[in-house]
Amino acid sequence: MTHLLRTPKLIPIKLKRTQHFISVYYDDCSEKEAWQKERQTFTEMKNKVEEQKEVDVVKIKEFNHWLEALQKDPEELWRRQPGG
């Protein structure tokens, strides 16, 4: 009979532990979800930066081409043009 009296006292402790573990699990799930959203945001930002970097490389090449053209002698430019 003493065994039956002890059992109800143990059930709330087990429930509290279970509730605690469930709470921790849900906290971990929400943290994981937030982390995944943040990771996706950073991945998108990284892709945009890489695309912009490619555009910048093309612009720099074009700029250097025109800079070289401006530094050349005008007579040389006329000689390079067709019909010049």
Can you give the three-state secondary structure of 53-65, one letter per residue? HHHHHHHHHHHHH
pLDDT of 22 > 90? The answer is no
pTM: 0.53
Length of the chain in residues, anyone?
A: 84
The amino acid that residue 22 corresponds to is I
For residue range 49-78, list pLDDT tens digits in order: 999 999 999 999 999 999 988 888 777 767
> Using CA atoms, how far apart are residues 42 and 36, in angstroms rounded to an integer?
10
